[in-house]
Structure 1
Amino acid sequence: MKYLNHISFKIGLIFFVIMIDLEGFIIYFLHQNIVKERVKDEFNSLLLRGNSHRDVLEQYNDAKTIHHVAVMESKSDLIVIVLTKSKKNIISSSPLDQEMRKIVAKPIGKVTHKGKIIESDWEDKKYIASVSPFKDGYVYMFKNTSQVQQLISQMNHHFWIAGLLAFGITLVMIILLSHILTRPLINMKEATKKITKGDLSVEIPVNSKDELGQLADSIRTLAREWNHLRRERSEFLASISHELRTPLTYIKGYADIARKNSHADNGTYLNIIYEEANKLSDMIKNLFDLAKMDRNSFQIQKQNFPLLPMLEQIEHKLSPAFQNKNVTLTVRCKKNILLLADPIRFEQVIINLLDNAYKYSEPHSHIHLNVKKEEGIWKLIIKDNGKGIPKEDLPYIFERFYRVDKSRTRSLGGTGLGLAIVKEIIEAHGWEIHAYSQEGVGTTMEIWLQGGDIIEETAARR
């Protein structure tokens, strides 16, 4: 009974019923038409035989010819009777029995020179019969229906064999077809069952590009993405616990030192505590922003503003830190450019990218910020000649808590959330960000702006 719930059985049963009904109808239709045609051929053959004798008797109506006709049919499976107009027997190829006499006694009605079939009930009567008139009488032809019935019986026997063969072939084909169709579905069911139990290492073979193949590929992709998300969640929890634990350890440790050494100069300790508290505050703010982005409640308030003054304002904010490290920041941007963007979020993006470039640049190095149009695309490019990013790390730098510096030193700081937030903000604007880097040479960050979000005022006036 359990097997009745299998989808392969259900699909196979449906296909089987449909195919058997279709084959049954086709075989029945063919049988009926072939039987009708075969019986019709028997009637036509009988009538043509009678008309042939009639034609001979019309030309040579003598006793010798009549006798020759009777002798000729006595050697066949047909019976011929020649009667006068008053239906008196002239000659017959076989003695008349009661059934023949009944047929001959029936009124034939109006009959043309072509003759006609006067008894056609081959299923219930003993004979089928035809009559062909000539000028001096009638030629009756008889054929025993047992011969016709035997012919039809043989035909029915062949149809039964064909039907059984069709039944068997259909059954085998349906079993194979249902297996072929349902095997991928069963594989997908087993795969989803494993996924629900937490086993995400599922592989479903995709052997076709139809809907079943696309569904299998979707399930496989879902398992991979889910597995990736689960790993990301584990890494996220591990990272956030580490990132929160480190500043808390500093705060607790230096607060304890300051508490125990009440007569010492605690300015240094308080500065460290203040610095680590700021890091915690920044981290919580970043986590809050990412949470809002994940809930799609992160609002972008776009407005037009001159781009160069914004960049100069950012440069002025960062100049003390850059000067302290002897790092030169160069900004190149046309004066007549208006940008459609959220100014607060745009400033956050640029400061974050410049801060990263600053941290990983050596003293007396250069950082360039350039806004220009290349191949029809407006690009904001930030380029440094710092230590660069290893090739194996480059694809992952925009992931949350991913850090190229695995040592997490306090000198470089950071939480691994900055670039993730940058990417989210840029994508929320409909822009793109691309990173290019080479170790020992430097890193280039390119923001590809939408064409409609940047306007050259002089071009617009024209």
Structure 2
Amino acid sequence: MNSFLTFFYDRFALRIKNKILFSVLAIFIVIYGATLSYIYNRLEEDLLQSARQEALSTTQILAVTLYRNYEIENDSREIQSYILGARKYKSNLLEINVLDRNLEIISSTDEDNLFATVVGRKYASALENTSAIQLHTEEPEPYLNIVYPISAGPAESNYATGVVEIKSSLKAQFAYLTRIRTNTLIAGLAILLGIAAVVILISHSITRPIHNLYAGMGKVNEGDLNIQVPVVSKDEIGYLTTTFNGMIDSVRISNERIVAMMESSRRFVPDQFLN
């Protein structure tokens, strides 16, 4: 009987602990995961937006400078020197290309691109004084590709004398996002372990009174009616423990009375019947 009670308690207590632990951890993971995802996405959007604005501003400065100071068709060497210097000044610029009206690359920071003719809607749109910006996340590193008209301004009536194209690296931004994500996951894991430890302690404090009660039942099952289970709380389990102690006291008192009655009755029974 005692082994059955022990087995039943172990199963019952284990289920309580597991349910409490699983429920708390599951709620934390859901809330923390959703919060982390939201913050990470917002941070990514903000960083990319900031990078777009910076890259677009750099491209606009290049375009205005080229329009005001150079003739696209005739000053390819001077333009080459200018864009090489600009790239040294802006370390995040992977590549700068300057195209004429025929979409031929007349100057480039990558000499392999020189005199190549490009095709694509974004280049044709740039000749119509419309800029284009694209995000590329493929290897070897993420970058922004901006195609911008070389003209007097953004108005559609302005004539584009050429096109400037830049590729601006996003390696630093994505590395920062990776560090943020890694640090946040590590912090989340640490918090998760801390919560698990606290939940285990709390669940132990909940199941300990039950264990004491089952241990008391085992003692009673062995015939020990002098057992008193300690009352460690004032909740339902505490009330149940107090009731159990009172019940055992009543049984013990009744048993003592029965024994006393039997002892007092022995004098009316001849000894030969007792032996």
TM-score bracket, normalised by the shorter chain, equals 0.5 to 0.7
In structure 2, which of residues 143, 160, 167 is the aligned counterpart of residue 142 of structure 1?
167
1:117–1:131 contact (8 Å) kept in structure 2 = yes
Q: Which runs of 5+ in 1 are unaligned?
A: 249-462
Q: Give the distance between the partners of 2:208 and 2:31, measured in 1 at CA.
A: 31
Distance 1:150 1:175 in 2: 37
Q: Separation in 2 of the partners of 1:45 and 1:156?
A: 19
Distance 1:91 1:49, change over 3 A: farther
Does 2:134 match 1:128?
A: no
Tell me how far 1:159 sits from its aligned partner. 3.3
Determine if contact 2:60/2:148 at 8 Å carries over to the other structure.
no
Secondary structure of 1:202's partner? coil
- Which residue of the partner structure matches residue 88 of structure 2? 74
TM-superposed CA distance for 1:91, in Å, is 5.4
**Residue matched to 1:172:** 197
Matched, 1:162 2:187: yes
Cα distance change of structure 1 residues 58 and 123 upon mapping to structure 2, 3 Å threshold: closer
Determine helix, strand or coil for the equivalent of 1:234.
helix
Name 1:372's counterpart in structure 2: none
1:115–1:158 distance in 2 versus 1, CA, 3 Å: farther
1:225 to 250, 254, 261: 250
Task: Give the TM-score normalised by structure 2.
Answer: 0.64
Name the CA distance, whole Å, in 1 between partners of 2:52 and 2:168. 11
Decide which of 46, 57, 68 is 2:51's aligned counterpart. Answer: 46
Which is strand-richer, 1 or 2?
A: 1
CA distance in 2, matches of 1:195, 1:118: 79
Q: Does the 8 A contact of 1:123 with 1:149 survive in 2?
A: no
Distance of 2:205 and 2:143 partners within structure 1: 54
Q: Which runs of 5+ in 2 are unaligned?
A: 1-5, 71-78, 152-159, 270-275
CA shift for structure 1 position 187: 0.5
Q: Please give the alpha-carbon distance, in whole angstroms, between the structure 2 residues aligned to 1:139 and 1:12.
A: 66
Determine which structure has more spread, i.e. the larger CA radius of gyration. Answer: 1
1:200 corresponds to which of 225, 232, 235: 225
Q: Aligned runs of 1:325-336 on 2, under 5 Å?
A: none
Q: 1:189 to 1:77 in 2, by over 3 A?
A: farther
Residues 211-360 of structure 1: matches in 2 within 5 Å? 211-237=236-262, 241=265, 245=268
Aligned partners of 1:51 and 1:115 also within 8 Å: no
Q: Matches of 1:32 and 1:209 in 2, distance apart?
A: 43
Q: Is the 8 A contact 1:82 1:140 kept in 2?
A: yes
- Separation in structure 1 between the aligned mates of residue 120 and residue 167 of structure 2, nearest angstrom: 14
Q: 2:134 aligns with which of 109, 115, 118?
A: 118
| Percentage of identical aligned residues | 18
What whole-Å deviation, never above 9, does each CA across 1:277-316 have from its counterpart, x for those lacking one?
A: xxxxxxxxxxxxxxxxxxxxxxxxxxxxxxxxxxxxxxxx
1:113–1:184 distance in 2 versus 1, CA, 3 Å? farther
C-alpha RMSD of the superposition: 4.3
Residue 107 of structure 1 corresponds to 121
Q: Find the residue that maps to 1:62 and give its secondary structure.
A: helix
Aligned CA distance change for structure 1 residues 105 and 156 (closer, same or farther; 3 Å):
farther
Does 1 or 2 have the higher relative contact order (CA < 8 Å, sep 6+)?
Answer: 2
Specify whether residues 211 and 198 from structure 1 end up closer, same or farther in structure 2 by C-alpha distance, changes over 3 A only.
Answer: same
How far is 1:155 from its partner?
2.8
